[in-house]
C-alpha cells in the first residue's frame, strides 16, 4: 500500500498514513461521541493518529483507540463548556439531533448551518 508522509506539529514528528484513508465524516459534519456525552462539528481530519505520544498514552489502555484510523478535530460542546476535541473515527457517530453547535469559534470557521451540517467559510477553502 502506498503511503503518504506529513509532518504533524502536534506530534512533533513525521506521520506515515495510507494514501487512500477512508473517513466517514467530513468537515462541517455534526457528530456525537459514542461513549461520552458531547457533540461537535468537524473542522479538520487527520488520516491516522497525529497527536503527541503523551496524549495517546494518557488514554486508559482499555479504551485506547487504534492509531490507524482517521482522527477528527472537533469544535465540541457538552452541558458545561465548549472546547476543542481530538477523537478517533471509531468513537464517533452521526448526531441524530441535527441541531447547530453552540461553540464560540463556529462563526469564525463556518458560514451557515443547513440540513444538519455546516458550510466552511469560502475564505478558508482552497
Query: What mean pLDDT is predicted for residues 79-95?
Result: 96
How far is Cα 42 from Cα 19, in angstroms, rounded to an integer?
A: 21
Question: What is the per-residue pLDDT for 22?
Answer: 83
Chain CA centroid to CA 38, Å: 13
pTM: 0.82
Domains of the chain (ranges, CATH numbers): 3-124 (2.30.30.390)
Question: What is the per-residue pLDDT for 125?
Answer: 65
Query: What mean pLDDT is predicted for residues 47-55?
Result: 92
- Reply yes or no on whether the pLDDT at 2 is more than 70: no
Q: List 29's β-bridge partners, or say none.
A: 117
Work out the mean pLDDT of the chain and round it to a whole number.
87
Question: What is the per-residue pLDDT for 7?
Answer: 59
Amino acid at each position: 500500500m502506498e503511503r503518504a508522509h506529513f509532518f504533524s506539529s502536534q506530534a512533533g514528528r513525521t506521520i506515515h498514513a495510507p494514501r487512500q484513508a477512508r473517513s466517514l465524516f467530513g468537515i462541517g459534519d455534526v457528530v456525537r461521541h459514542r461513549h461520552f456525552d458531547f457533540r461537535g462539528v468537524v473542522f479538520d481530519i487527520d488520516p491516522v493518529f497525529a497527536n503527541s505520544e503523551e496524549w495517546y498514552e494518557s488514554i486508559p489502555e482499555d479504551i485506547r483507540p487504534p492509531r490507524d484510523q482517521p482522527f477528527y478535530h472537533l469544535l465540541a460542546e457538552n452541558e458545561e463548556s465548549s472546547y476543542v476535541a481530538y477523537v478517533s473515527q471509531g468513537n464517533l457517530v452521526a448526531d441524530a439531533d441535527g441541531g447547530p453547535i453552540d461553540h464560540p469559534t463556529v462563526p469564525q470557521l463556518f458560514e451557515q448551518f443547513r440540513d444538519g451540517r455546516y458550510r466552511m467559510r469560502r475564505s478558508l477553502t482552497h
